[in-house]
Amino acid sequence: MTRYKRTWRGIIQRAVEEEAGAPIDADAVMVENPPRAELGDLAFPMFPYARILKRSPTEIAGRVAQRVASRLAEQSSQGAAGTQRIEIQEAAHPVPDERGLAAAEDVAHIVQDAGPHDLVIVLVSGGGSALLPLPVSGLTLEDLAETNDLLLRAAVPIQEINAIRKHLSALKGGRLAALAHPARVISLILSDVPEDRLDAIASGPTAPDPTTYRDAARIAKRAGIWDALPSTVQAITLRGLQGELEETLKPDDARLAQVSNVLVGSGRVAAEAARAFALEQGYRSAVLASAVQGEAGLVGPVLASIAHEVLGHGLPIPPPALLVAAGETTVIVKGDGRGGRSQEVALSAAAGIDGLEGVVVCAVGTDGRDGPTDAAGGIVDGGSAGRVRAAGLRIADVLADNASYDALLAAGDLVITGPTRTNVADLLLVAVAEG
């Protein structure tokens, strides 16, 4: 089984590397000089732009920003003065902190000074919602952090979390693009959300927002957290409902006319890369889905049942098989233990494949960090549940305490990659060896 685990770790590595490289190539078509018609609205001459403004609300800011800056310097007829100075400001995720606030204020200060002859390049990836927290007037960072924590603990789906975040932010929901108006804005976007909705990725700083204050209030009440929200957050939402505050930007907003949002990577790309590598290794492989959602402790047993189906009936494909999915699950926080959503998926799957030979289930975050831990996720096999029991732990109790990290650590089943410099949601693998 160790050999099989080694194979699947290679598959994970290939998927992450494939995705990490995807956004880099986009800079090549962005600044063609002179432009080529077949490249569409991303191809434009550099000479009309007096300044090139760069800020990166992203977990991969340095790497991508340096490549974009270098390309701009090479292609610009004006030498792209100043593009070699890249400033990286670290911040907390998933709960915003003072460092993120300072970075967000810096971004707002820079882009609001942009004029009609300036170009603003925005690099966006998952995590931007927490990393770029600039509250609207009347709110504090503490209000945002408390609201974010309530949403995460209630296991609210990411699209709904972001609907609330957008209406409490001065930069999300297209408001960054509004600040940059009338400058030309190009956003290169890595998706970490199901269905790759541009308004949901990092809460859509340069994308139109289909949600409203009414949606935000409805989501909070349905999740049972409205009464627990800070009074200031309730007041802002109610003022928005009454029309006293401007809505987030909608598709017909004139301030979005000079904005191009370009998706350059997603969970689907990572899933396809994993599938391609598995085929190279001689396995049958298929992508099941690229928009998996649901509570982590329920998704794991589904993956286990798929393994049983492959092992017992050869469906949807016979062994040796690797089935791949991507998406973003949620965790209802009930305990005080360490863990993350991918670790809970893996541990809950371990109970379902207990005793099975030749079966591996893996769940990892493609950014290399699952929850507030140093692990990317977990990789379990038919012996994992036994190893957890041997450590004196019961999987049901561990999951109830949200302590998946410690159980997987005891079983030797944590996946620790370190930062991967990309973020396209989570990768889920079900592997079944032949005979």
The answer on 258 and 282 residing in a single domain is no
- Look at 152 and 255; give whichever has higher pLDDT: 255
Query: In what helix (H) or strand (E) does residue 190 lie, and over which residues does it extend?
Result: strand 184-190
Q: Which residue has the tokens 């298929």?
A: 286
Tens of pLDDT along 350-360?
Answer: 999 999 998 99
Q: What is the pLDDT of residue 37?
A: 44
User: Could you say which of 248, 265, 282 is where a domain stops?
Assistant: 265
Q: What is the pLDDT of residue 84?
A: 46
Q: What is the pLDDT of residue 362?
A: 93
Mean pLDDT over 37-46 rounds to 42
The answer on 272 and 250 residing in a single domain is no
The answer on 314 and 245 residing in a single domain is no
Under a CB-based contact definition with an 8 Å cutoff, are residues 136 and 200 in contact? no
Least reliable range by pLDDT among 19-28, 80-89, 202-211, 283-292: 19-28
The answer on 253 and 146 residing in a single domain is yes
Q: What is the pLDDT of residue 55?
A: 46
Nearest residue to 383 (alpha-carbon basis) of 344, 345, 410: 410
In this prediction, residue 67 has a pLDDT band, given cuts at 50, 70 and 90, of low
Token pair, residue 311, equals 């092992």
The rounded distance, in Å, linking the Cα atoms of 321 and 308 is 12
Tens of pLDDT along 363-375?
Answer: 999 888 898 899 9
To the nearest whole percent, how much of the chain has pLDDT over 70?
A: 80
Under a CB-based contact definition with an 8 Å cutoff, are residues 128 and 122 in contact? no
Q: Does 50 have pLDDT greater than 50?
A: no
Q: What is the pLDDT of residue 266?
A: 83
Q: What is the pLDDT of residue 390?
A: 97
Average pLDDT value over all residues in the chain: 83
The rounded distance, in Å, linking the Cα atoms of 144 and 136 is 10
Q: Is residue 7 part of a domain?
A: no
Q: Is residue 218 part of a domain?
A: yes
To the nearest whole percent, how much of the chain has pLDDT over 90?
A: 53
The answer on 156 and 276 residing in a single domain is no
Q: What is the pLDDT of residue 44?
A: 42
The answer on 290 and 203 residing in a single domain is no
Token pair, residue 223, equals 């999740």
Q: What is the number of other CB atoms lying within 10 angstroms of the CB of residue 151? A: 24
The answer on 361 and 214 residing in a single domain is no
Mean pLDDT over 86-101 rounds to 81
Q: What is the pLDDT of residue 65?
A: 58
Q: Is residue 10 part of a domain?
A: no
Q: What is the pLDDT of residue 72?
A: 54
Q: Does 42 have pLDDT greater than 50?
A: no
What CATH number does the domain containing 181 carry? 3.40.50.10180
Q: Which pTM was predicted? A: 0.71
Least reliable range by pLDDT among 30-34, 353-357, 413-417: 30-34
The answer on 315 and 414 residing in a single domain is yes
Q: Is residue 142 part of a domain?
A: yes
The rounded distance, in Å, linking the Cα atoms of 241 and 401 is 38
- Give the DSSP per-residue string, 264-308: EE-HHHHHHHHHHHHHHTT-EEEEEEEEE-SBHHHHHHHHHHHHH
The answer on 178 and 284 residing in a single domain is no
- Structural domain of 87: 31-265
Q: Is residue 12 part of a domain?
A: no
Query: In what helix (H) or strand (E) does residue 176 lie, and over which residues does it extend?
Result: helix 175-180
User: Could you say which of 265, 282, 301 is where a domain stops?
Assistant: 265
In this prediction, residue 412 has a pLDDT band, given cuts at 50, 70 and 90, of very high
Q: What is the pLDDT of residue 10?
A: 65
Q: Is residue 18 part of a domain?
A: no
Sign for the CA dihedral angle at 199, 364, 90, 63 comes to negative
Q: What is the pLDDT of residue 231?
A: 97
Nearest residue to 358 (alpha-carbon basis) of 413, 259, 431: 431
Q: 113: Cβ–Cβ under 8 A, 6 or more apart, which residues?
A: none
Least reliable range by pLDDT among 232-236, 272-276, 384-388: 272-276
The answer on 296 and 323 residing in a single domain is yes
The answer on 254 and 108 residing in a single domain is yes
Q: Is residue 2 part of a domain?
A: no
Q: Does 20 have pLDDT greater than 70?
A: no
Q: What is the pLDDT of residue 147?
A: 94
Query: In what helix (H) or strand (E) does residue 260 lie, and over which residues does it extend?
Result: strand 259-265
The answer on 100 and 143 residing in a single domain is yes
Q: Is residue 294 part of a domain?
A: yes
Tens of pLDDT along 275-325?
Answer: 988 898 888 999 999 889 899 999 999 999 999 999 999 999 999 999 999
Query: In what helix (H) or strand (E) does residue 364 lie, and over which residues does it extend?
Result: strand 359-365
Nearest residue to 126 (alpha-carbon basis) of 204, 22, 202, 24: 202
The number of domains in the chain is 2
Q: 363: Cβ–Cβ under 8 A, 6 or more apart, which residues?
A: 300, 303, 341, 342, 343, 345, 346, 349, 377, 378, 426, 427, 428, 429
Sign for the CA dihedral angle at 234, 239, 241, 245 comes to negative
User: Could you say which of 265, 296, 312 is where a domain stops?
Assistant: 265
Give the CB-side neighbour count of residue 12, counting CA atoms within 13 A: 31
Grouping H, G, I as helix, E, B as strand and the rest as coil, residue 33 is coil
Tens of pLDDT along 197-254?
Answer: 899 899 999 999 999 999 999 999 999 999 999 999 999 999 999 999 999 999 999 9
Nearest residue to 128 (alpha-carbon basis) of 94, 153, 85: 94
Q: What is the pLDDT of residue 311?
A: 93
What CATH number does the domain containing 393 carry? 3.40.1480.10
Tens of pLDDT along 145-196?
Answer: 899 889 988 888 888 998 999 999 999 999 999 999 999 998 888 888 877 8
